[in-house]
Structure 1
Amino acid sequence: MDQLRDKDKYRHNVRMTSQPNGFNRFGGQQMPEADKDYENFVSEALRIVKLAEENGILLRIMGAVAIRYHCPTFGHLYRDMSRALTDLDFATYGKYKQKLKPFFTGLGYVSNEFMLKYYGNMRQLYYGQGGPIPQCDIFLDKIDMSHVVDFKGRLELDSPTLTLADLFLEKMQINKINEKDIKDTIIMLREHEVGDQEKNMVNKKYVAKALSDDWGFYYDVTTNIKKVKDYLPNFPSLSSDDKDIVAKRLDELVTEIEGCPKSFGWKMRARVGTSKQWYKEVEEVVRGVQK
């Protein structure tokens, strides 16, 4: 999972990162091997999940590769919107932490020993060695970034990925949201309906409940939903119907979020608002080098 970088630029309060060679900003990928690249990431992710299960480890794909897997009908938008895949992200439970290093090194990946020593209880990082996958990022029990997305007890609800609701929260929790995360969210909501189940739809009730006890989390998610909606006109590869459907599904989520009863703590924190910092700063992880 990419970290915030000082060199990143902003457009309409959205973090912009440099494009890989062969990509245009808002649509149109020039690389003829693009579909093969996507296939490489998805197939390797599926292989790892299957082998992990055979070795007694429960892994679920998360991030952009999980969304790409979940979107067979509109997966072409990854190419059309110039959304490159850069690494593999996985979720697992903390009880498997001791099994991860021998498993991934056995597959030919090399562990980041700095990450393992200082953050290994919550996150581990493994590098590919000259293959198509640069690295694998593994999160244990939760994603602890700008806000916490807790997936304890939820990995069994879908396979081979996190649930769509968790993938949605993973993207929307980012305080300084990146354009690539907006693209992922658009593609996911073009493919999938919003409803009250976990399978093949974004569970709006779970999303709303997750935000009902944490005003800061709520604030960033709802702010980012508005950014996604406002950003839709920037993508010529999306048809009018595409944009309307995504906007409608975003509105459904907002309606559910706003209608969900909030805790006393949420209401008290809402009174303070943005006068006090409501999110955690995300450190840039220096790969293998201690700051």
Structure 2
Amino acid sequence: MQFHAARAQVPPSLLRQPGDLDLFTTSSQRRRVQQWLEELGLLPNKSFNVLHGRYRLMYLAKGEKVDIFIDEFQMCHRLAFSDRLALQPVTLPLADLLLTKLQIVELTEKDMRDALALMLAAPWGTHDEPGLLNVNRIATLLARDWGLWKTVTTNLAVLRGRAALLVEDHEALALLHDRLLQLQEAIEAARKGWRWRWRAIIGERVRWYELPEEP
């Protein structure tokens, strides 16, 4: 996330020092990644890895946490990415990275700054291309999953209300408002399937998200 923000014209108020590190891989590369991390001297969180190792591993390095997500990002919502890793060098595609923030049910100020920074970090488009944020990718995923739609659209409303408090640059703020509107319009225009419509009828009477377990 900071990789993209640092390379773009992102206002300083949205930049921060990197903290914990998130890595993404596929199940076919799991053993190689574990071997590589241990050769670097990182220590596995053995109890966590036994419980969650199918889709997530955790290592420690000098007090810092390194998360390895395998085939999917599973926190408040599940985001599959095994077919997305080859689309962009170094990181997940920008749309997928943004969704890892927008899927958080209780956004912190740090999460808000990260999400806004990603929205400013690259041009937007409607297809997958390195260095481009694919708006249609987000809209399509939300049209399949009412729970993800509910969380993301709620967070977009929060970001619209908080952006002026977090971004002092007027030009960047105007661009953010334009992009938030563009994303909202794409989400509304995406055709919703019967599963989405059925879940929408149930609505908030049944919890639509998970509470991620952290050690």
TM range (shorter): over 0.9
Secondary structure at the counterpart of residue 152 of structure 1: coil
Question: 2:71 & 2:194 partners in 1: Cα distance?
Answer: 26
Q: Deviations over 1:47-83 (max 9, x none)?
A: xxxxxxxxxxxxxxxxxxxx22113133562xx3463
Q: Which residue matches 2:9?
A: 74
Question: 1:174 & 1:243 partners in 2: Cα distance?
Answer: 22
Secondary structure at the counterpart of residue 198 of structure 2: helix
Which has the greater radius of gyration?
1
- Aligned mate of 1:125, from 39, 58, 69: 58
Secondary structure at the counterpart of residue 67 of structure 2: strand
Q: Which residue matches 2:26?
A: 93
Question: 1:95 & 1:275 partners in 2: Cα distance?
Answer: 39
Question: 2:38 & 2:11 partners in 1: Cα distance?
Answer: 33
After TM superposition, the structure 1 = structure 2 runs for residues 23-42 of structure 1, keeping only pairs within 5 Å, are none
1:212 aligns with 2:143: yes
Tell me by how many angstroms 1:241 deviates.
1.3
Question: 2:98 & 2:65 partners in 1: Cα distance?
Answer: 22
Tell me by how many angstroms 1:175 deviates.
0.9
Secondary structure at the counterpart of residue 66 of structure 2: strand
In structure 2, the CA distance between the partners of 1:81 and 1:160, relative to structure 1 (3 Å rule), is: closer
Question: 1:105 & 1:76 partners in 2: Cα distance?
Answer: 37
- Aligned mate of 1:223, from 148, 154, 158: 154
Tell me by how many angstroms 1:240 deviates.
1.4
Secondary structure at the counterpart of residue 89 of structure 1: strand
Tell me by how many angstroms 1:245 deviates.
0.3
Tell me by how many angstroms 1:104 deviates.
0.4
Provide the identity percentage. 29
Greater helix content = 2
Tell me by how many angstroms 1:202 deviates.
1.5
Q: Is the 8 A contact 2:14 2:116 kept in 1?
A: no
Q: Is the 8 A contact 1:108 1:129 kept in 2?
A: no
- Aligned mate of 1:274, from 178, 200, 204: 204
Q: Is the 8 A contact 2:8 2:122 kept in 1?
A: no
- Aligned mate of 2:75, from 137, 145, 150: 145
| Bigger mean CA offset, 256-265 vs 268-277 | 268-277
Question: 2:152 & 2:106 partners in 1: Cα distance?
Answer: 11
TM-score (norm 1): 0.70
Secondary structure at the counterpart of residue 86 of structure 1: coil
Gap regions ≥5 residues in structure 2: none
1:254 maps to a residue whose letter is Q
Secondary structure at the counterpart of residue 83 of structure 1: coil
Gap regions ≥5 residues in structure 1: 1-66, 287-291
Secondary structure at the counterpart of residue 212 of structure 1: helix
Q: Which residue matches 2:41?
A: 108
Q: Which residue matches 1:196?
A: 126
Q: Deviations over 1:75-94 (max 9, x none)?
A: 562xx346342111011001
| Bigger mean CA offset, 185-194 vs 115-124 | 185-194
CA RMSD, 1 decimal: 1.6
Tell me by how many angstroms 1:204 deviates.
0.9
Q: Which residue matches 1:38?
A: none
Q: Deviations over 1:202-232 (max 9, x none)?
A: 1011111111111010010011111111111
Q: Which residue matches 1:57?
A: none
For these two proteins, the number of residue pairs brought into alignment is 213
1:190 maps to a residue whose letter is L
- Aligned mate of 1:185, from 93, 98, 115: 115
TM-score (norm 2): 0.93
